[in-house]
């Protein structure tokens, strides 16, 4: 069966990653694009032969008989777009974050469960070859029990913030009303990666978050996240670094794993190695990763919301949102540790 899909929000991540990723799947046909900006609709017309474009999302949902909607608009639009799609009986795959509030998450998950529709979030970093290799080493027992993780994301500026960019450029990261800020832009990725690498849910977080005086959005975050069994993760996020750097450390009872860009090194009690992992350049859109992810998303659309993959994905999104909320609460209380509140996000689906 050929799945009919559409994209809502045709900015850079949609044009550079999502669209080519879906086009790589023979079982998926992207038939329409929604975006309120005329320049982005015209860009879609130039990229896709016979594509239909809309400035009204409800009109597109009414007229296109879709199997799924890919929501790639700014974060503040995600909840409303996903709700419209689910109410129209359309499954939804949302670029991170899934939504911004606990109330939105509870409502969306209820709607999806009621009508047996898929609700998922794009968790692209799980498709990085480097992190997939790291996860294989961890689950294969090569590090022993993981006790400590440090994840560092240093950037010189937010993605899409270069003045004079193209018509499809993305400025939402510096717009508080649009859901901008580094905690959403990078933190969400970090939070689902941590649950994946630790193999467990976090219990509490203490944080320091700093906002830029001119934009009002957070551009620096220092987090300490606790997991069951006295295990800890430290996270550093900044848009003010003199260099771009992605660097992580995983410490287990039997080994130390270090990740720097596409390089990975294991120093263990019984074995050690260091090598590079074949990957695309470290940019902001990761088109190759989404192309790999699209295969899993296509299968989840076919298998349905009760598939193991879909349930794990939604549970990771649940954790990422709970951590985002608790981190802001902690920062507002001068770094006091705040326990994660999953109850406000509605019941976990079986």
Looking at residue 163, its pLDDT comes to 46
| pLDDT at residue 350 greater than cutoff 70 | no
Which residues are CB-neighbours of 122 under 8 A, at least 6 positions away? 18, 93, 94, 95, 96, 290, 293
**What is the CATH number for 175?**
3.30.360.10
- Both 278 and 294 in one domain: the answer is no
pTM of this structure: 0.94
**What is the CATH number for 30?**
3.40.50.720
Per residue in 199-219, pLDDT (tens digit) is 999 999 999 999 999 999 999
Mean pLDDT score across all residues of the chain: 94
- Residues 131-142, mean pLDDT to the nearest whole number: 96
Q: What share of the chain is helix, strand, coil (3-state, %, to 5)?
A: 40, 25, 35
- Both 111 and 214 in one domain: the answer is no
| pLDDT at residue 85 greater than cutoff 60 | yes
- Both 35 and 137 in one domain: the answer is no
- Both 212 and 267 in one domain: the answer is yes
Domain total in the chain = 2
- Both 13 and 90 in one domain: the answer is yes
The answer as to whether 314 is a domain residue is no
Report the C-alpha gap between 314 and 311 in whole angstroms: 5
- End-to-end Cα distance, the chain: 27
- The tokens describing 337, both together, are 């540790």
The answer as to whether 325 is a domain residue is yes
- Both 231 and 153 in one domain: the answer is yes
The answer as to whether 211 is a domain residue is yes
- Both 96 and 133 in one domain: the answer is no
- Both 328 and 201 in one domain: the answer is yes
The answer as to whether 262 is a domain residue is yes
The answer as to whether 176 is a domain residue is yes
Residues forming a β-bridge with 268: 255
- Both 172 and 219 in one domain: the answer is yes
What percent of the chain lies above the pLDDT cut of 90?
Answer: 89
Looking at residue 282, its pLDDT comes to 59
| pLDDT at residue 167 greater than cutoff 50 | no
Categorize the per-residue pLDDT at 346 as very low, low, confident or very high, splitting at 50, 70 and 90.
Answer: confident
What percent of the chain lies above the pLDDT cut of 70?
Answer: 95
Per residue in 11-46, pLDDT (tens digit) is 999 999 999 999 999 999 999 999 999 999 999 999
Exposure string (b/e) for 36-59, b if CB count within 10 Å is 16 or more?
Answer: eeeebbebbeeebeebbbbeebee
In terms of residue numbers, what domain contains 300? 3-122+289-304
Categorize the per-residue pLDDT at 349 as very low, low, confident or very high, splitting at 50, 70 and 90.
Answer: low
- Both 250 and 134 in one domain: the answer is yes
The answer as to whether 67 is a domain residue is yes
Q: Tokens 């996903």 identify what position?
A: 82
Sheet holding 204-211, edge to edge: 272-276, 263-268, 255-260, 245-252, 146-154, 231-238, 218-227, 204-211, 338-339
* 3-state helix/strand/coil string of 126-192: HHCHHHHHHHHHHHCCCCCCEEEEEEEEECCCCCCCCCCCCCCCCCHHHCHHHCCCHHHHHHHHHHH
- Both 191 and 163 in one domain: the answer is yes
- Both 113 and 176 in one domain: the answer is no
Looking at residue 21, its pLDDT comes to 97
Which residues are CB-neighbours of 334 under 8 A, at least 6 positions away? none
């Amino acid at each position: 069966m050929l799945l009919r899909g559409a994209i809502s929000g045709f900015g850079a991540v949609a044009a550079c990653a999502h669209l080519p990723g879906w086009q790589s799947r023979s079982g998926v046909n992207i038939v329409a694009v929604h975006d309120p900006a005329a320049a982005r609709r015209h860009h879609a017309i130039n990229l896709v032969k016979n594509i239909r474009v809309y400035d009204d999302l409800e009109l597109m949902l009414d007229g296109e008989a879709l199997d799924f909607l890919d929501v790639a608009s700014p974060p503040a639009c995600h909840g409303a777009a996903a709700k419209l799609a689910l109410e129209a009986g359309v499954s939804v795959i949302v670029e991170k974050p899934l939504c911004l509030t606990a109330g939105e998450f509870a409502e969306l998950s209820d709607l999806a469960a009621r009508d047996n529709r898929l609700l998922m979030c794009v968790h692209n970093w799980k498709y990085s070859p480097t992190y997939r290799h790291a996860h294989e080493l961890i689950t294969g027992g090569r590090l022993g029990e993981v006790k400590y993780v440090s994840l560092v994301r240093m950037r010189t500026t937010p993605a899409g913030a270069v003045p004079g960019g193209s018509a499809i450029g993305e400025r939402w990261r510096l717009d508080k009303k649009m859901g901008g800020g580094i905690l959403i832009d990078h933190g969400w990725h970090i939070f689902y990666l941590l649950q994946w690498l630790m193999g467990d849910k976090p219990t509490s977080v203490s944080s320091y978050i700093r906002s830029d005086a001119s934009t009002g959005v957070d551009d620096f975050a220092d987090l300490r996240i606790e997991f069951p069994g006295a295990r800890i993760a430290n996270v550093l996020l900044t848009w003010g670094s003199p260099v771009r750097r992605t660097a992580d450390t995983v410490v287990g009872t039997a080994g130390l794993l270090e990740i720097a860009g596409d390089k990975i090194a294991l120093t263990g009690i019984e074995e050690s190695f260091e090598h590079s992992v074949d990957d695309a350049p470290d940019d902001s859109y990761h088109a190759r990763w989404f192309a790999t992810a699209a295969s899993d998303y296509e299968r989840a659309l076919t298998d349905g919301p009760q598939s193991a993959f879909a349930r794990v994905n939604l549970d990771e999104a649940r954790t990422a949102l709970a951590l985002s909320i608790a981190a802001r609460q902690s920062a507002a209380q001068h770094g006091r540790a705040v326990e994660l509140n999953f109850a406000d996000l509605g019941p976990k689906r079986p």
